[in-house]
Amino acid sequence: MSAIITDQFRILNANNFVESVENTNNSYYVFLGLPNPGQINDFVGYGRSSNWNSVTPAPTDSFSYRAHTGDTSMFGKKVSSANIRRIIRRVDWVAGNRYEIYRDDYSIDNPSPLTRANRLYDANYYVLNSDFKVYICIDNGSTGDTPLGNVSQDEPTFTDLEPSKAGNSGDGYVWKYLFTVSPSDIIKFDSTEFITVPNNWNSSQDTQIRTVRENGDSDVNLNQIKHVYIDKAGDGYSDGKNQEVDIVGDGTGAKARVDVENNKITKVTVTSGGSGYSYGIVDLGNLNTGVRTSTDFAKLIPIIPPSKGHGHDLYTELGTDRVIVYARFDDSTKDFPIDTKFAQVGIVKNPTKVGTAATYIDNTFSSLQAIKFNDGTVDTPEIGEEIQQVLTVAPNIGKVATAYVASFDPETKVLKYFRDRSLFFNTTTYDHTDYIGISTAARIFEFEAQVGSNNIKGKSSSFSGSVDLNFSGITTNPQGNKLINLGVNFTGGLSNSEINKGSGEIVYLDNRPLIVRNSRQKEDIKIILEF
């Protein structure tokens, strides 16, 4: 059996994703992770590669890989409705270019004349002007004899509701204004490849959006059909201008005026678009002279807009099967340490608050555990290196707590760390292979903050420091003149992450060459999701 996944299914999925993000019962976060993806002091761990930066491996869609991603996640930022938009391909208006008309019947059997697109959404039937206004091309002067149409000479700039020509060049173009990209969207989502489309088009009470949407409702104003394409001019029709005819079909109310010269149809102008049409046929009976052969009949094709009319259902009209998600990571919060590195970018849905089953709802999260060292600590660990502590408290005396360094702030003496299976699997093969000492080395032991406890030491560097077991709370004042919010709560010098390890559904994941953060840069993350 032959079957297809339709464009409308893709658009529906994009709509569902946006609505899911906007649903207050959900929490979506863009997260960064994996600060040690490659070879560090001859170390290559699970889910990593020695040539990561030069040949970055594609992520694997498996439960195991996603669990590992959760283990190496560092921090995330919540996605709000202000930071997600549906998007379409960017097609700029350029003087002298040709553009295609909107047609409901582009297909593999009827490709668009200019781009040879097999579907409407791949054709260049809309434009973005220099003022970030978006227009549908209703007419370009094309006919069956001149299918490519004319070159466009007049840039559309108007915001009139009805289709109009853009200037006085006589280029034959008629444009329908749809919307203007907002200045904030231009700044936040700026792209050379895509145009952002307004959220909540079907329900927005924005004056401009509502006016365009309601004008496109043919049930109210009988303006569904805007253009009739002259595929064949025919012969044997009564000469005359503005001869009124009906457009019949499964809708009602559509009418047009027809110009005939030398018994051939030269122009068709829609005077009433009607409503309810999924197909239409122009009734030329009153114009027939009765003298013709079968090959002389004209072929006039009413172009049927989507839904009730142009502008009513913007997402269907423009084919919004892509979504852009935006997040900015800067140094405004200690949840986003500036000295770390990252090699993974992802989106996680509904992580849970640490120690509970409740969905985490704050604007940012840290998925790292942390240690507050004594103020006298002078050494600095390497980002990504392994740290160890030989434990002194029963029943774990002699056991070793271990982790990887994600960040170290020399001012606050706070080290943030994570663990993944590479610390506990076979230390040579980094897989499930049996090895000596597995009974203890394969287990996770937490760092301890006790009087007389051993220092925590770097395995690769000379770092050594003792836990500040007297420190509790979320703020510190190391210089005596500046209160610093650490982002997480400490008890006895130790802190948990803000979300449960590996919680939530990872719905997007991208491996990137290693990026080093620093205080002089901000990371603007723009993720394109195509459904």
Helix (H, G, I), strand (E, B) or coil at 28: strand
Instruction: Compute the distance between CA of residue 458 and CA of residue 266 in angstroms, rounded to an integer.
Output: 84
Q: Torsions phi, psi of 451, nearest 5?
A: -60, 130
Assigned superfamily of 7-84+323-363+505-530: baseplate structural protein gp8, domain 1 (2.60.340.10)
Helix (H, G, I), strand (E, B) or coil at 239: coil
How far CA 498 is from CA of 334, 387, 527, in Å, comes to: 13, 21, 24
Q: By the 8 A CB rule, do 91 and 124 touch?
A: yes
What pLDDT is recorded for position 483? 77
pTM, 2 dp: 0.90
Q: Tokens 């190391």 — which residue?
A: 478
Tens of pLDDT, residues 111-121: 999 999 999 99
Instruction: Compute the distance between CA of residue 349 and CA of residue 223 in angstroms, rounded to an integer.
Output: 43
Q: What angle do CA 270, 90, 154 make, to 5 degrees?
A: 50
Instruction: Compute the distance between CA of residue 512 and CA of residue 56 in angstroms, rounded to an integer.
Output: 7
Instruction: Compute the distance between CA of residue 14 and CA of residue 3 in angstroms, rounded to an integer.
Output: 21
Tens of pLDDT, residues 241-261: 999 999 999 999 999 999 999
* Cis peptide leading into residue 163 (ω within 30°): no
How far CA 91 is from CA of 94, 135, 149, in Å, comes to: 9, 10, 17
What pLDDT is recorded for position 228? 98
Residues of the chain short of pLDDT 70, as ranges, are 1, 39-44, 293-294, 479-481
Sheet containing 84-89: order of strands:
194-197, 84-89, 322-329, 523-530
Task: Tell me the two tokens of residue 520.
Answer: 């002089």
What pLDDT is recorded for position 332? 73
What pLDDT is recorded for position 530? 95
Q: Which of 273, 177, 162, 280 is nearest to 219 (CA)?
A: 273
What pLDDT is recorded for position 42? 55
Instruction: Compute the distance between CA of residue 69 and CA of residue 473 in angstroms, rounded to an integer.
Output: 29
Domain ranges of the chain: 7-84+323-363+505-530, 86-316, 368-495
What pLDDT is recorded for position 18? 97
What pLDDT is recorded for position 40? 54
Residue 164 identity (one-letter amino acid) = S
